[in-house]
Every structure is written in C-alpha cells, then in structure tokens.
Amino acid sequence: MIFKATRLTLAAALLSASALSVAAQGYTPENPECIAPANPGGGWDFTCRQVGKSLQDQGLIGKTMQVVNLAGGGGGVAFAEVVNKRADDNDLIVAASSATATRLAQGAYPGNTMEQVRWLASIGADYGVIAVAADSPIQTLPELLGMIKDDPTKVSVAGGSAVGGWDHLKVLIAAKAAGVEDVRRVKYIAFDGGGEAVTQLLAGSVQAFTGDISEAKGFVDSGDIKVLAVLAPDRLPGEFSKFPTAKEQGVDAIGANWRGFYAPGNMSDDAYNAWVGKIGDLYASDEWKAIMDANGLAPLDLQGDAFQSFVEESVAEIRAISQEIGIIK
C-alpha cells in the first residue's frame, strides 16, 4: 500500500532533481545535526548516522553531522521539540519513516500535524520482517501465526514503535492475512527503537520481533536472531535472498517502511532547497546505491514537493487501515 503513491510522484521527483541539485549550492549548514527519534540501534538511528557519514564522505557537507538520539512517544518527543523549540533551525534534519506517518495519521502526537514541518526527501524503503531468537523452536511464519491464532495471550511480539505504530501494524497485517479474526487481541509490546526490542527478545521477555530489514541485519549477522519472513512481494536480492517472504509461506502480507527526513517548519527556502538537493545528490550516487544493497533498502527516490505529496498520501492510507482494524475510529 505504501508504494502506490510512489508511482504517482516519482516522475515529478526525477524532473525536479537536477534543479534542486543546483539549489543545493546556495546554503551550507554550519553545524549540521540530525535527530534520531529513538534510542541507538534502530532504523531512525541508522538513517541519521549512515546518511550523515555519507554526506560528509562525499563532500556534500563540510562538517561531521551531529546525531542526537531523542527517544519517546514513538517519535513524538522529537516532533514536539522541533515544532515548539527549533522551528527555524536551518541546520537541523530529523529521521522519519512510515512509523512517523503512522503516528501522525492516528493523531498520536498531541497537538501536532504533518503540516507543521517541511518534508525533505526519501532515501529508500525498508521492508518489514518478523523474526525470533536464533535458538527459538519456531521455524516458520505460519507456525508463529498459528500459535497467535490458537491463543493470542501466550505470544508477545516486540517492536520499536508505539502501540498502533508501524511495527505494530505490520504484525497485525500478517495476523489478519493468516486468519486471526480479532487482531486487536494480538499481544504487542512497544519499545523505544528496534535495538531495545531485540534486546528484550534475546532476554526471553517476548517470543517474536517485528521490525525492518535494516535494523534486523546486524542481529542476523551476529547470530542472535533468525528471520521468519520478509514482508516483501518477492525475495530481496543479494545476501537477503536467503530470507523467505511471508507471501511464499501462504501469508499475503506486505509491509514497506519508507525512510527519509523532515525539517523544521520555518526553515528558510534556501536551506530547505539545499538539504533537498544534498540528499538527492547522495541518493543518486553509486556509493549510496551500494549502501542500499548492503542494508536491504529498496528504491524510493522522492525529493521536495514530490516527497511532501507522498507523505500526505501515506498518512491518508495509514489512517484508513488503522480505522479498518479498530486502532482509531
């Protein structure tokens, strides 16, 4: 569902990319900063740190990007900080994703809306995963979902977004596809970031994890978790091809988490266009394409107005599915 809007806005993004690249020369951040609205180790943290490093490595910013982890409220603490205290900061960008759109769609940031910030650009899309600890006896997604269907109270699933957030929605979409009649009974436990959720999985506090491929990759590489399913229409390429999709296991569930950035609402047009151009230049580079491949990111190339429209459509779609499954009225 999240990719439907991409086809409508991608052409506009490609047409505007070259102009924005020129505009990027007009402003240079003196003290570049990226807020990751979660604790270290999750997808937002990855977005800030990897993009910040890559921007500097390619000479698109002249100084090291300071990364600030500001966890709380599924991104709400960071959103309120930007809106209320740093609305005119030209050097600040904030990591965002489908989780951000989900919280905004559900009115979970009290008093705040997506119109209070400026949406910069995407840097790719991250397919969802459902995983268990490496030593878990559970071997397949249908096996896990069958346990949930038999008795939802005996299986806890951890994720890095708040209750009703994107990580939560992904497991509900899978459960619904597997025939769980009342998905509201699925036991989901929220943590501030995917890293903390995996820590609880390894401690035995929960039985499964719902997150994204980029945040799960390190834990797979270390041998701590095993991925039961990727929520993609087809197997991912390269080293990710070993992970089965939910669809091939008979569970017709797809969940793609876009990743990108927003900026303070009163950021100047010069600064906004510069950041949009810099992120667009980064996305177009061979170096970033290699990073995407290494971390399981799928293509999603949207900047400026095209990204703004995409987020608007994403919020509307997520609001509709949230109403369908009873999270909001």
Q: What is the pLDDT of residues 45-97, one digit of tens each?
A: 999 999 999 999 999 999 999 999 999 998 999 999 999 999 999 999 999 99
The alpha-helical segments, DSSP class H, found in the chain are 4-23, 43-57, 76-85, 98-105, 141-150, 166-177, 194-202, 213-221, 269-284, 286-295, 305-324
Q: What is the pLDDT of residues 167-207, one digit of tens each?
A: 999 999 999 899 998 888 899 999 988 889 999 999 999 99
The domains spanning 4-126+257-324 and 127-249 adopt the same CATH topology: yes
* 127-249 topology per CATH: D-Maltodextrin-Binding Protein; domain 2 (3.40.190)
User: Which overall architecture, per CATH, does domain 4-126+257-324 show?
Assistant: 3-Layer(aba) Sandwich (3.40)
CA 246/CA 119 separation, integer angstroms: 31
Domain coordinates of the chain in residue numbers?
Answer: 4-126+257-324, 127-249
pLDDT the model gives residue 311: 96
10 Å CB burial of residue 2 (0-12, 13-18, 19+) is buried
pLDDT the model gives residue 25: 53
Q: Kindly give the parts of the chain with pLDDT less than 70.
A: 1-25
Global pTM value: 0.77
Amino acid at 322: S
pLDDT the model gives residue 11: 34
DSSP 245: B
User: Which residues, at least 6 apart from 290, have a Cβ–Cβ distance to it below 8 Å?
Assistant: none
Both structure tokens of 201: 């999985």
pLDDT the model gives residue 194: 87
